[in-house]
Amino acid sequence: MMNICRQKRTGWRSRCGRRSVFGVDPSHTRQASIFGIIACGLFFIASPSVFSQKEEGAEYPVKLAFLYNFTKFIEWPPDSYHAPGAPLLMCIVGHDPFSRILESDLGTRNVGGHPVEVRTLKPNDKLSVCQIVFLPAAEKQQAERIVKGLKGSSTLTVGESDGFAEMGGIINLTIEANKVHFEVNRLAAERAGLKISSRLLSIAKIVHEPDQTRQN
């Protein structure tokens, strides 16, 4: 696995001026600024096997950081915002597995002139107002219905369940050998009018929907 923050030989202090999130106690991880993680080069420089989440409690801080970083490599259609300075809505559906502290920290960020706003919504809420919809594993039974309901919108759907991208979700976060990876359904992204950077696609696992596979 590639180490994003190279550690000095004298200890765990990283070149970024912070302790590496994976070199500290998990309780410290939960309280650390997510943007300290990002500043240490969270984004996937060369390998999809970028981040280990061996420490208990590290998985969801890493996944939340991935969600934020995706916004820097995905372009939404201009009409996906109701106003030029409208917030980028990152909506968590159902059970929210993320730290409130990290979500609050995320809310201080800005993407392309749009302040980031994290909301927790119910599965039956109007989700098409969101730029990003994250479907936790706890909402797996609702995922297919929600993904189908969002067709025709410019919403980036992100899940963490087996088969999420194949059923029409756009990005699926996976764990393999204690490392966070991600899958991308390019057809679903195109349907949503989302432009995904080639840099992001080059390190993703590209998946296809069953009908698309049969056509190929």
Residue with token string 């749009």:
114
**Phi, psi (degrees; rounded to nearest 5) at 59:** -60, -50
Any domain includes 189 = yes
First to last CA, the chain: 34
Total domains present in the chain: 1
Any domain includes 172 = yes
Any domain includes 4 = no
Any domain includes 16 = no
Beta partners for 118?
Answer: 90
Q: Is 0.85 topped by the overall pTM?
A: no
Any domain includes 134 = yes
For 177, the domain range is 21-215
Tens-binned pLDDT, residue by residue, of the chain (216 aa): 333 333 333 333 334 433 333 233 334 444 444 444 443 444 443 343 344 555 546 889 889 989 999 999 999 998 999 888 899 999 999 999 998 998 998 889 999 999 999 999 999 999 999 999 999 999 999 999 999 999 999 999 999 999 999 999 999 999 988 888 999 999 999 999 999 999 999 999 999 988 754 554
Any domain includes 55 = yes
Any domain includes 130 = yes
Any domain includes 7 = no
Give the C-alpha separation, 101 to 72, whole Å. Answer: 22
- What H or E segment, with its residue span, contains residue 110? strand 110-111
Q: What is the CA radius of gyration of the chain?
A: 17
